[in-house]
Amino acid sequence: MNVFIVGPGGVGKSTSGKILAQLLDYNCIDLDLEFCNQIGNIGEYIRSQGYESYCHANSELFYTLLKKHTQRMVWMLSSGFLVHEECSDLVHKHTQTIKKELSILLLPSRSIDESEDIVVERQLKRGFGLKEERERKKFRERYVPYQSFGDVQIYSVEEPQVVAQEMLEEVARYVAEQGRSV
């Protein structure tokens, strides 16, 4: 079984996902990190090639990796992976792919205002040269669509270890309800 962690940037997918992988005794892949390692810096790529080109390159990388790593993986997906504003064809393809496995939505709060403040503050601290107004707009555009994803939905601002433990417990509950095994 593969586990896909989805959500906007700055919600803790990478940090909590690594811990969840350890708890499950799975391997993990951070798609953004793989993009940087195999293709190049995401921001630079978008500036030189455009966002749509980035979306297609990221999708191609994902499917290449997915063919190599078919089981027992925790995947931390890119923030726009399921809500590419410019690439509805990719959104549909990605959605169909993750529906075949188990997905976890990670958000800081059920409140859009609270989530926005938390995520934007985190994103601005990451040192990527992001602009607050643009990040707020992007977050608001993606928040509601993201809420339609996730077999398991986690809303938390706890420390990553606590979030990972909650994910583990909810995954176990979901898998048991579905008659599957982890």
Yes or no: say if 156 and 163 are a contact pair by the CB < 8 Å rule: yes
Region 124-144: what's the mean pLDDT?
A: 80
Task: Residue 91: name the closest of 26, 22, 148 by CA.
Answer: 148
Per-residue pLDDT tens over the stretch 74-108: 999 998 899 887 788 999 999 999 999 999 999 99
CB contact at 8 A, 161 and 19? yes
pLDDT, tens digit, 9 for 90 and up, residues 24-80? 999 999 999 999 999 999 989 999 999 999 999 999 999 999 999 989 999 999 988
| β pairing state of 27-30 and 102-107 | unpaired
The answer, yes or no, to whether residue 129 has pLDDT greater than 70, is: no
Q: Please, which pLDDT band fits residue 128 given cuts at 50, 70 and 90?
A: low
- For domain 2-173, give the CATH number: 3.40.50.300
Q: Tell me which residue of 173, 113, 165 sits closest to 143, measured CA to CA.
A: 113
Q: Are 105 and 150 in contact (CB under 8 A)?
A: yes
In 52-165, beta strands by DSSP E: 73-76, 102-107, 152-155
Could you state, in order of their start, the residue ranges of all structural domains in the chain? 2-173
